[in-house]
Amino acid sequence: MNYESEWHQRTCAFKNICYNKERKLFQFYRKPGSIKKPVLFEPKLGHIYDFNINNHGFVGLVARAHHHESWGPTIVEEWLPSSDKVPYLEHVHVLFMHWYVSFNPGHVIWEDIASTYFAMIRLNEYDRNAVLIEYRHFPNKGDQFYRMYENLVPAFAAKFDSLDHYMNNFSSPLVCFQTLIAGGAKSMFSIDNEPYTHGKERLLYDYRTAILRYHGVNVSHLPTHHRIILVNKTRAWRRSLRAIKNLVEVKHFISSTYPKIQLDVIDWNKFTFAQQMHELYKTTILITPCGGISTIIPFLPDGTHAIIMDFYGNKQAYAKGARYKIGESASMYAALWNYFPHIRKLYYQVRTVEDYVFDFPEASNTRHDASIKISMIRLKELIDTALQESTLIH
């Protein structure tokens, strides 16, 4: 990460830094007349003395960041303002942005907000009273992004706010920080970025556990009997549902094959986020479509199983360089689920054109626009595997 081009991988803690409300920029203070110190020792370019170079900043503020979503403070050769003249914010502040696309709970939970927690822990700067500041694109109060922030941030930090609104709390034209953290956001769902996720199992687990506890889940109370949840997906932000096509047949099959096991068909849209956490924590086997609806899988209790639908990789669904080739069964978010060892993932493979149905007549992309037709024989294999591996009596 000493290469200036690797700005999107950096995570930094800044000291000697203030926000100039009139200029609307962060100022990094260097003593006037002092010997210039490099901010980066670049293998090719040598010493670099500025946080902004080659049309990008020093760190990225969002997963999948482009140059305009990078950030770096402006160096000023001035004395650091005295604490009796400007406010110094005592607690850690974390600068971030959310991925500015259509709402997907998984990207908000495991990328936008998780990255702020990871950054504090990785830099040994964790502060339970930290403040998360969104640099741009702060969501409107009450929209889905904002509500998800409300569900996540209080689990590990004190508050969140937009940069402008937060700075307006102070009358001084300069606001200084004891510690300002920025960077570290990476795509967690891409196989290409798995090296970034290596070794973060404990971070992911602790973040997940903090959220459960914040919503009142007693994580030491594990299920004592089996319960199967079958997810009924009824709403999506695109035209297709990408659901389980023969849900009624699946429900009847599970009920008749495993009559002693509690089965609940759940539409998550009818539950608040807190209610979802409690329902998941009473579950031992979750059967779910892939995609955004599956991104609450990590909140299952220790030792449980998730049966997750794959998707069929046809020509239209194939992306150049993707691990899954045309004609293969592709696991959409396995690149992240692999890093939650407290649950066992069982992937329902989609092997042929007989295993899926397009959601509308002109659809052609099997990743985005197809629902899965489940074979009862193959589903039974997965449920039986989960039951056999469980320590619970059924």
With the CA atoms of 228, 232, 238 and 242 taken in that order, what torsion angle do they form, in degrees rounded to the nearest 10?
Answer: 70
> According to CATH, where is 3.40.50 located in the chain?
224-389
- With beta carbons less than 8 A apart as the criterion, state whether 204 and 50 touch: no
- The token pair that represents 264 in the structure block: 């609940």
Coil, helix or strand at residue 279: helix
Looking up tokens 């956490």 gives 277
Cα-Cα end-to-end distance for the chain: 51
Number of H helices, E strands in the chain: 10, 23
Q: What is the DSSP letter of 154?
A: G
13/93 Cα distance (integer angstroms): 10
The model carries a pTM of 0.94
Which CATH class name applies to 224-389? alpha beta
Task: Please list the pLDDT of the chain residue by residue as tens digits (394 residues).
Answer: 588 899 988 999 999 999 999 999 999 999 998 888 899 998 998 999 999 999 999 999 999 899 889 999 999 999 999 999 999 999 999 999 999 888 999 999 999 999 999 999 999 999 999 999 999 999 999 899 999 999 999 999 999 999 999 999 999 999 999 999 999 998 888 777 787 788 899 999 999 999 999 999 999 999 999 999 999 998 766 666 889 999 999 999 999 999 999 999 999 999 999 999 999 999 999 999 998 889 999 999 999 999 999 999 999 988 777 788 899 999 988 889 989 999 999 999 999 999 999 999 999 999 999 999 999 999 999 999 999 999 887 6
User: Could you tell me the CA-to-CA distances from 150 to 193, 275, 320 in Å, in that order?
Assistant: 28, 14, 37
285/390 Cα distance (integer angstroms): 10
118/110 Cα distance (integer angstroms): 10
Q: What are phi and psi of 268, to 5 degrees?
A: -60, -20
